[in-house]
Structure 1
């Protein structure tokens, strides 16, 4: 069955459970675990008719954040000294997806995305700006959604 949101969900699938996606890295803001998990739930609620249940859903997600890296993305010379021209935030999330109605669609995969920031922004300013991190995590959530229910 196809829908206007681009999903390809079997009509027998009615529920979804999303376990807390833990941050297993020493980096990242304190709110990352809760924000990522809630944003993932919200995305599925907005784009499907599936009912979210605490556990044992027809579709099940669990996983963890495995990388949260902030490093120079480009180097430029200023007065003969190499400096970061921009900084890149890269986040990786390992997701285990189980489709209890069709195990062939189940998978485990690491999803990664990044955003570049001006050299004037350091990791402290990025972590204290919820929208900066959310831009990167939203891209990852879209990729998870597309892989699991849109079959892209």
Structure 2
């Protein structure tokens, strides 16, 4: 009990100090002061292989990531932060070759080209491609939805970190 009390006396001032700094956040995001809104435009799928629902799922995943990890409000038109782009790659390749030159594992890769416009601090704006993948065994059809969700989580994390954590 005494140890818990001592720990709380050390922990509370530390948490107050973190809260008062404003720039540092536990999730690593550094949203510019004055930035209040964001807009994510629809990401068209221009990859050679087109999965009909991929554009909608990726666009919604990016919106959700920003809503859940920042204090920004989503708007439907011009925002303080604007994300736009397109899906440029969707590929299934062999990840591991087994006996008789057959694939033992396959890899689903998705590439997204992103243009980020920061209307508060224009120097933070960028254009960059992001690629992530998931390895799998068996047929892609049986796992495609789960694989895409996992890759979307990774891609949206990379994009969020690049925009708001300067990674």
After TM superposition, the score normalised by the length of structure 1 is: 0.91
More off after superposition, 27-36 vs 11-20:
27-36
**Cα distance in 2 between the residues matched to 1:50 and 1:18:** 12
State whether structure 2 residue 41 is matched by structure 1 residue 19.
Answer: yes
RMSD between aligned alpha carbons? 1.1
Higher strand share: 1
Kindly state the Cα deviation for residue 84 of structure 1 after the two structures are TM-superposed: 0.1
Which 4+ residue blocks in structure 1 deviate beyond 6 angstroms?
none
Q: For residues 91-139 of structure 1, give each alpha carbon's deviation from its aligned partner in whole angstroms, at most 9, with x where no partner exists.
A: 1000000001111100000000111001x2x232233xx2221101110
Secondary structure (helix, strand or coil) at the match of 1:146 reads helix
Aligned length: 145
Secondary structure (helix, strand or coil) at the match of 1:140 reads helix
Which is higher, the Rg of structure 1 or of structure 2?
2
State whether structure 2 residue 122 is matched by structure 1 residue 123.
Answer: no
Q: Is the 8 A contact 2:32 2:121 kept in 1?
A: no
Structure 1: gaps (5+ residues): none
**Cα distance in 2 between the residues matched to 1:46 and 1:131:** 21
Q: Is the 8 A contact 2:108 2:147 kept in 1?
A: no
Secondary structure (helix, strand or coil) at the match of 2:101 reads strand
**Cα distance in 1 between the residues matched to 2:105 and 2:32:** 44
2:150 counterpart residue number: 135
Question: Residues 67-82 of structure 1: matches in 2 within 5 Å?
Answer: 67-77=89-99, 81-82=100-101
Kindly state the Cα deviation for residue 28 of structure 1 after the two structures are TM-superposed: 4.2
Question: Residues 6-85 of structure 1: matches in 2 within 5 Å?
Answer: 6-77=28-99, 81-85=100-104
